[in-house]
Amino acid sequence: MSQTALLEAAGLHTYYGASHVLRGVDLTIRPGESVGLLGRNGMGKTTTIRSILGLTPPRRGKVTLDGRPVTGAPPHTIARRGVALVPEGRGIFPNLTVRENLTMGARPAPPDSPAEDWALDRVLTLFPPLGERLDTWGNLLSGGQQQMLSMGRALMTNPRLLILDEATEGLAPQVRNEIWSVVRAIKDAGIATLIVDKDLKTMLRVCDHCVILAKGQVVYAGPASALAADPEIHVRFLGI
């Protein structure tokens, strides 16, 4: 606990117009740590991510990166502090080629960072199918390839925290496994992750820490191993 948190969100209250969606969400992610964000449909997982990134700024509460506040900062500033998003629905730019999708947001790692740079070659090594389709328009890829593209694009910004919102949704089982193995590789490369996914079993194996949301509030936060050992919580908050 002595290490400063990479990301700390405290008491987030977020609204869409008049509807009060997040009601005091707390979330901490330490450098290199993998945190799973769980909860049934509509409980506020995506909204938590949007609040952290400044896409839907919280009305109350604060977000800090390395102890420095970023609450109210625009998304591009927060992204440039080392946060990258793989959004629900993948967010591929259809009117950009695969290569352009990958390079448009590319930023080298900060000079003081010990991590190896995620340049195009390295990303293509992680996702070989993309290398064969560099000059294809983004929307012409298969679902699995689009997911790889979205992840590769995020890695090219050399993030310290990668946020994955439903990265395996709508993919065939074999493709899901590939995505999960990439998630593990990203984790092994030392990048912290915030993962939202419906696949509880895999989440419990991949994540270090889990947070469960219900109606915009944190109803469970603890080590993944503790959650794995407590099926009663699965039934109560995840309906499994």
Partner 1 sequence: MDLAQFLVQALNGVQYGLLLFLVASGLTLIFGIMGIINLAHGAFYMIGAYLAYWLVGLTDNLFLAILLGIPIAVAVGLVIERLLIARLYDRDHLDQVLLTYGLILILNETQKILWGSDFHGVPVPEMLAGSVPLTENQAYPVYRLFISAVCLGVAAGMWLVIARTRLGMMIRAGASNREMTSALGINIGRVFAIVFALGVALAAFSGMIGAPVSSVYPGMGDRVLIISFVVVVIGGIGSVKGAFIGALLIGLADTFGRVLVPDFASMVIYALMALVLLWRPQGLFGRAP
Ligand X SMILES: Nc1ncnc2c1ncn2[C@@H]1O[C@H](COP(=O)(O)OP(=O)(O)OP(=O)(O)O)[C@@H](O)[C@H]1O
Q: How many residues bind partner 1 (CB under 8 A)?
A: 23
CA distance 45 to 210: 12
Closer to partner 1 by CB, 146 or 202: give it: 146
Both structure tokens of 78? 């927060």
- 37 touches 213 (CB < 8 A): yes
Binding partner of 219, given partner 1, Mg ion, ligand X, none, CB within 5-8 angstroms per partner class: none
Does 87 bind ligand X (CB under 6 A)? Our answer is no
Q: Of the ranges 2-10, 43-51, 112-120, 130-138, which one interacts with Mg ion (CB under 5 A)?
A: 43-51
Does 84 bind partner 1 (CB under 8 A)? Our answer is yes
Q: How far is the CB of 94 from partner 1 (least distance, A)?
A: 6
The residue whose two tokens read 């991510």 is 49
Q: Of the ranges 3-11, 41-49, 73-81, 154-162, which one interacts with Mg ion (CB under 5 A)?
A: 41-49
Does 56 bind Mg ion (CB under 5 A)? Our answer is no
Residue from 152, 127, 150, 135 nearest 100 by CA: 135
Burial annotation 135-164 (CB, 10 A radius, 16+ → b, else e)? eebbeebeebbbbbbbbbbbbbbbbbbbbb
Q: How far is the CB of 222 from partner 1 (least distance, A)?
A: 29
